[in-house]
Amino acid sequence: MPEDCSPLSTLGPLMMDVEGLVLTVQDSALIQHPFVGGLILFSRNYESVEQIRALITSIRELRPELIIAVDQEGGRVQRFKSPLTRLPPLKSVGKLYESDPLLASVYATELGWLMASEILALGVDISFAPVLDLAYGVSSIIGDRALHSKPEVASLLGGAYIEGMSQAGMAATGKHFPGHGAVQADSHLELPIDSRSLEEITQHDIIPFRNLAAQLGGVMPAHIVYEKIDSLPAGFSSYWLQTILREELGFCGVIFSDDLSMAGAAMAGTYAQRADKALAAGCDMILVCNCREGVNALLSNEQIIKHEADQSRIHGLKGCAQVSGLDELRSLQRYQAAKKMIIDYS
């Protein structure tokens, strides 16, 4: 039988990480803090299917309601590997589109379904996917993670991929709003500056987010300053998050900050200042990854932990697996056909 998909108790707005393959005493104490609402897992947390299921079970025993996430895009960004499917980068979908647009749309749907189905079967709720940035060939960090250079094609293929995720029982998160593809700098290492006009960004990069806003359960903004529009990076900008994303695009889902430990977020100050500014700008859930010091700083700050999360939005991310586990999933004809498509077209 599929796992229970009903939302449970109150979730806080912080998504943190854990140290390794099993919960430490400190991990266990931190994730029980009411300000924590989610966990993100990394490659260091994955050794085998049996091990990751045991880790997730131990997390659920302490906080069954937590949203558990992973970056499982494929290509360079796939945290859980063998024996799960080795997923191709999304660029492979865009490449297929050039020769067969209809087949590429089917491929995108099946790729999204297979990715989501596999990690839902492990007990994970969401993968932060798909990347909706445009493939300008400029960004050092986006590269082959993007579907296509044309916004209309990225919208079409992104929508098909999201549909596949939805059929598997997973909400999609589009990233990195309003677009990371036109800057070379890596926001993990520095603060990128995009000097384009609002008109140019609106006529290109924002189009996939606009077209897919109603289908997305989450959006993750970029740690980029679009200097002709706002002096703040998008993830700290009420203009980008409220005026554009919420009001103009009508997005009603969860706004995730990108990782507040990234260099692109450092301009906002201390971890408490970064969290406060991101939440004040309109983020529903903030990520602090690979920095236990930052997590501790937030959980010990009386002003920060007063922030509350929008429960209806965050609970809407809860995964709903359609199968009881990987063995049942692998027995499905659709699974076998999707695997063959990856072999044929990646």
33, 186, 188, 310: the active-site residue: 188
17, 258, 276, 284: the active-site residue: 258
Residue 176 annotated among the catalytic residues of the structure: no
SS3 labels along the chain: CCCCCCCCCCCCCEEECCCCCCCCHHHHHHHCCCCEEEEEECHHHCCCHHHHHHHHHHHHHHCCCCEEEECEEECCEECCCCCCCCCCCCHHHHHHHHHCHHHHHHHHHHHHHHHHHHHHHCCCCEECCCECCCCCCCCCCCHHHCCCCCHHHHHHHHHHHHHHHHHHCCCCEEEEECCCCCCCCCCCCCCCEECCCHHHHHHCCHHHHHHHCCCCCEEEECCCEECCCCCCEHHHCHHHHHHHHHHHCCCCCEEECCCCCCHHHHHHCCHHHHHHHHHHHCCCEEECCCCHHHHHHHHCCCCHHHCCCCHHHHHCCCCCCCCCCHHHHHCCHHHHHHHHHHHHHC
Residue 258 annotated among the catalytic residues of the structure: yes
Residues labelled catalytic: 188, 258
